[in-house]
Structure 1
Amino acid sequence: MSNSKKQKYERYIDKSSIPGHEEKSSSGKTKFNVNQAKIDDVKTALENDTNAPSWLKGGAYTEEDNPHGLADRSDFIILFPQYREQYLKENISQIESTLAASPYYLKVSLNCKEGKMVVETTEKTFDPFIIFKGRDFLQLVARGVPFQQAKKVLEDNVFSEVIKIGNLCRNKEVFTKRRQRLFGPDGSTLKALEILTGCFIFIQGKTVSVIGEVNGIKTVSEVITDCMNNIHPIYHIKQLMVKRELKNNPEYANVPWDKYLPKFKKSVNKSIVKKKNKKLKPKKEYTPFPPAPEKSKKDIAIETGEYFLSEQEKQRKKEVERIEKQHEKKIEKKKENEKLYQPPKEEEIQRREKLIVLSSRMTA
């Protein structure tokens, strides 16, 4: 851009938003004063300027914007898990043809021995940012995202993020339960998030792959991290539904939305509170001496005198004990049988007579 054009647009730019032109507060911290009206003025000035390139106005970056190509070649290495090897072998030709076509002109190579893919620029590549798009595309394919969905990242204004959730929970059991919350019953929670944010969400192992616009990806990442920190995604979904209704209504465009958004109180699990409030067991009295060791079978046998008996005497003793136990059981059984033949007590006879009289009155 020439000096005259720079001077033309300089008057619209708020220098406080440029690094090196920040205002310092009394505490010494940097203050950024971004004036939205001035930004809008710059945008309108660019739109009205016929000599400004199309990509500067928000259009597509074409080959005419960079006819000489890139100054140097660049590449990225993407690793993939072993279970994904078979899928990549079957679809590598499709991936290569997609990235090699216009307007991408990227080269892909698959190395199954080392478990990696390499994406690099070619002589025909003119877009300096497309190499990052190609890297993101291969990352998504390596994480298990279907080819047709991952291909959307190559479009303009479509981005992706791979969110790591494996280290957000204290143990595996809690992790699996909270990850299941993201799916919801029959995948309803995940589907609702996709509709409200306009993003494609794919959960695989300890990562969540998100494809969509910047604002949608930001919202999804907040919901996912909160879910892993024990905040249910249904609360976020309710807020997003209200926000969408307010956004579609022009009456609420310049009104703060805080009072319209639902607010939720933190519920306390009573079972956890009971466990916390459980009384501690009283401590035993401190004794400086260690407890006496438990007696072994040999020690007990020496105390009772069995240790000094011969084998015949031991067998005879066991036989005597067995006969005594049998005799005791016989006596108990005899007592139980005698109870059946004992006459009832007077109190029992009187109680039965009363019942007979009452039953006769009821029938009469």
Structure 2
Amino acid sequence: MAETEEKLQHENENQNQEQKVKYKGKHNKPKPWDDDPNIDRWTVEKFDPAWNPTGMLEVSTFSTLFPQYREKYLQDSWPRIESALKQYGVACKLNLVEGSMTVSTTRKTRDPYIVVKARDLIKLLSRSVPAPQAIKILEDEVQCDIIKIGNLVRNKARFVKRRQRLLGPNSSTLKAMEILTDCYIIVQGSTVAAMGSFKGLKQVRRVVEECLRNEIHPVYQIKNLMMKRELAKDPSLATESWDRFLPTFRKNNVQQKKPKSKEKKTYTPFPPAQPQSKIDMQLESGEYFMNENKKSEKKWQEKQEKQTEKSAEKKRKRDESFRPPEEPTQNSNNSNKSEEGKKDLTELTQSLKSKTNAFKKQKKTQYQVNAEEYIAVA
């Protein structure tokens, strides 16, 4: 009997071990509502104050600094911001002496996440976002993302050029990105502030970072987003991959071969001579042993010499404008041509003279005629 009981206990233990599935994390166990088809996990439900009737137990505060040029605008628009935050039970304070904005919870605060939203609001206001647009962050559907772009490029001139590339001519590239991502984007200094849905903010961050790293131009990113928007309208392509429809932009870095120098460099094992220091140069010229008066005199003389050189050069430039232009000189080719022409003329004159002489002789022979030859004899 005892053996049969032990066998039954072993079988039960093995069954229990098979049923228990080990999970790595403590909280990674399956929940009963994971497979519930009635729950939509992507919808953002509006907060109901009845969910938290007692309010907050502790006071949470956030503060941020703002630049001096924003002081006048914030001072004018602060009543509007105060009234917007008062609806959610959040207190705000503008300190013009320290140049800071502070938000904090009160006894009337019911939504625990509204303090984080209020913190984002003062961050956006300090980054030159207009107050009517920044107040929209208090809504549940709107989120914000502040992208720091100052540390992505070292060279300042290159950074300014790529930031302008992000804006485009007359901010056309930025407007196209706003339409395609359904986000509000503002580029200010070394930051890019964006407001919209999580999906749109993710796209904006990718476009901005790739543009500043010089990986893909924003225009190509806009083309990509336009094609994705058109493909999303087709329900048959919802479960398929869109890689075959989207264009691929490859960056081709063609390495140019450097021209080889004709002169062959002779190998020398010795390093080049060390350049002279300032003290060595003063020792050579003897300036090192001079008094301060003599040094000042030498500097004054050098200055005078430079002035005289500059004045002489300026005078030479002024005199050049009064010089007459040089006449064009005949080249050696032209002189050869003229000599050949002269030879041809002499030959022509001689031939003409010989012809005229021959013609004159012919005339003389014609006039010497015997009349007796033509007289009839009786």
Q: TM-score, normalised by structure 1?
A: 0.66
In the alignment, structure 2 segments of 5+ residues that lack a partner are: 1-20, 287-325, 345-378
2: CA distance, partners of 1:106 / 1:99: 5
User: Any unmatched runs of 5+ in structure 1?
Assistant: 1-14, 24-33, 48-54, 299-335, 355-364
Counterpart residue type for residue 90 of structure 1: D
The answer as to 2:183 corresponding to 1:199 is: yes
In structure 2, relative to structure 1, the CA distance for the partners of 1:134 and 1:351 (3 Å cut) is: farther
CA contact (8 A) 1:106 1:121 kept: yes
Identity of aligned residues (%): 41
Show the counterpart of 1:190. 174
Selected match of 2:220 from 235, 245, 251:
235
Q: Does the 8 Å CA contact 2:59/2:104 hold for their aligned counterparts?
A: yes
Task: Measure, in 1, the Cα distance between the counterparts of 2:26 and 2:104.
Answer: 36
- Quote the Cα distance in structure 1 between the aligned partners of 2:194 and 2:23: 31
Q: Which residue of 1 aligns with 2:370?
A: none
Q: 1:297 to 1:18 in 2, by over 3 A?
A: closer
The structure 2 residue matched to 1:42, chosen from 36, 39, 43, is 36
DSSP-derived class of the 1:173 partner: helix
Match of 1:20 among 19, 26, 41: 26
Q: How far is the alpha carbon of 1:43 from its aligned partner? A: 5.0
Tell me which of 126, 129, 138 is aligned to 1:142: 126
CA drift at 1:99: 0.7
Match of 1:266 in 2: 251
Equivalent of 2:71 in 74, 85, 90 = 85
**In structure 2, the residue corresponding to 1:128 is in which secondary structure?**
coil
What TM-score does the superposition give when structure 2 sets the normalisation length? Answer: 0.63
Retained in 1: the 8 A contact 2:70–2:126? yes
Q: Does 1:348 align with 2:338?
A: yes
Looking at structure 2, the residues matched to 90 and 244 of structure 1 have their Cα atoms a distance apart, in angstroms, of 41
Question: How far apart are residue 178 of structure 1 and its match?
Answer: 0.4
Amino acid at match of 1:205: G
1:182 partner SS: helix
Match of 1:277 among 234, 238, 258: 258
Give distance in 1, aligned partners of 2:228 and 2:213.
Answer: 23
3-state secondary structure, aligned to 2:62: strand
- Could you say what secondary structure the match of 2:36 adopts? helix
Within 1, Cα distance between the matches of 2:240 and 2:341? 84
Question: Quick one: distance in 2 between partners of 1:246 and 1:289?
Answer: 65
* One-letter identity of the residue aligned with 1:192: A
Deviation larger for 200-209 or 105-114: 105-114
Distance in 1 between residues matched to 2:157 and 2:247, nearest whole Å: 31
Give the aligned partner of residue 62 of structure 1.
48
Find 2:197's aligned residue among 201, 213, 232: 213
Q: Is the 8 A contact 1:141 1:150 kept in 2?
A: yes
Distance 1:345 1:247, change over 3 A: closer
| C-alpha distance in 1 between matches for 2:220 and 2:158 | 20
Structure-2 residue corresponding to 1:73: 59
Alpha-carbon contact 1:16-1:22 (below 8 Å) kept: no
Higher Cα radius of gyration: 2
Q: Tell me, yes or no, if the aligned pair for 2:44 and 2:141 is still in contact at 8 Å.
A: no
Aligned to 2:305: none
Residues 10-49 of structure 1: per-residue CA shift (max 9 Å, x gap): xxxxx999943659xxxxxxxxxx99xx85x4250x58xx
CA displacement 1:145-192 (0-9 Å, x = unmatched): 011111111101210011000000021011000000111111111011
1:98 pairs with one of 53, 64, 84: 84
- State the match for 2:91 in structure 1: 107
Letter matched to residue 248 of structure 1: K
CA–CA distance in structure 2, aligned partners of residues 86 and 287 of structure 1:
67
The alignment's C-alpha RMSD in Å is 3.7
Matches within 5 A, 1:152-163: 152-163=136-147
**Alpha carbons of 1:82 and 1:58: their partners in 2 closer, same or farther (altered >3 Å)?**
closer
Structure-2 separation of matches of 1:346 and 1:278: 44
> Residues 346 and 216 from structure 1, CA distance in 2 versus in 1: closer, same or farther, beyond 3 angstroms?
closer
Superposed, 1:116-135 pairs within 5 Å as 116-135=100-119
TM-aligned CA deviation for residue 284 of structure 1: 7.1
Displacement of 1:239 after TM fit? 1.0
Q: Is the 8 A contact 2:186 2:193 kept in 1?
A: yes
CA change 1:248–1:345 in 2 (3 A) is closer
Aligned to 1:181: 165
Contact 1:43/1:57, CA 8 A, preserved across alignment: no
2:152 maps to 1:168: yes
| Aligned partner (choices 208, 213, 229) of residue 244 of structure 1 | 229
Aligned-partner SS, 1:125: coil
Aligned residues: 273
Aligned mates of 1:135, 1:94 — CA distance in 2? 16
The answer for the alignment partner of 1:254 in structure 2 is: 239
